[in-house]
Amino acid sequence: QKEVEQDPGPLSVPEGAIVSLNCTYSNSAFQYFMWYRQYSRKGPELLMYTYSSGNKEDGRFTAQVDKSSKYISLFIRDSQPSDSATYLCAMDKSNYQLIWGAGTKLIIKP
């Protein structure tokens, strides 16, 4: 079993919809939780970062961490075609090494 599980999709939704992306994990030692966005033929870029449990909001994006359920989510409100990308979750065991999900390919249809 992988330490981090993420549905690869693709997930296709109409423009303006609310998108929910999720990852589950097995290692309770994870403390730092990140979402990276990767456009086609580009490197990943950090989108959201959360330490321990709770919610974090940045514009149309909200990241949630539920450590009791070992489950993290990324919500995108008012989705736009420019949000079409692959979204990767990543987790840190309090050192430099991130453990990555497989990434979910998101398609926003105009």
Partner 1 sequence: GAGVSQSPSNKVTEKGKDVELRCDPISGHTALYWYRQSLGQGLEFLIYFQGNSAPDKSGLPSDRFSAERTGGSVSTLTIQRTQQEDSAVYLCASSASGGAGETQYFGPGTRLLVL
* Contacting residues toward partner 1, per CB under 8 A: 4, 6, 8, 31-32, 34, 41-46, 49, 51, 88, 90, 92, 94-98, 100-103
CB nearer to partner 1: pick between 103 and 108: 103
Distance (Å, whole) CA 27 – CA 53: 14
Backbone phi, psi, residue 81, to 5°: -55, -30
DSSP code of residue 86: E
Three-class SS state of 82: helix
Please, what is the minimum distance in Å from the beta carbon of residue 15 to partner 1? Answer: 25
CB nearer to partner 1: pick between 90 and 108: 90
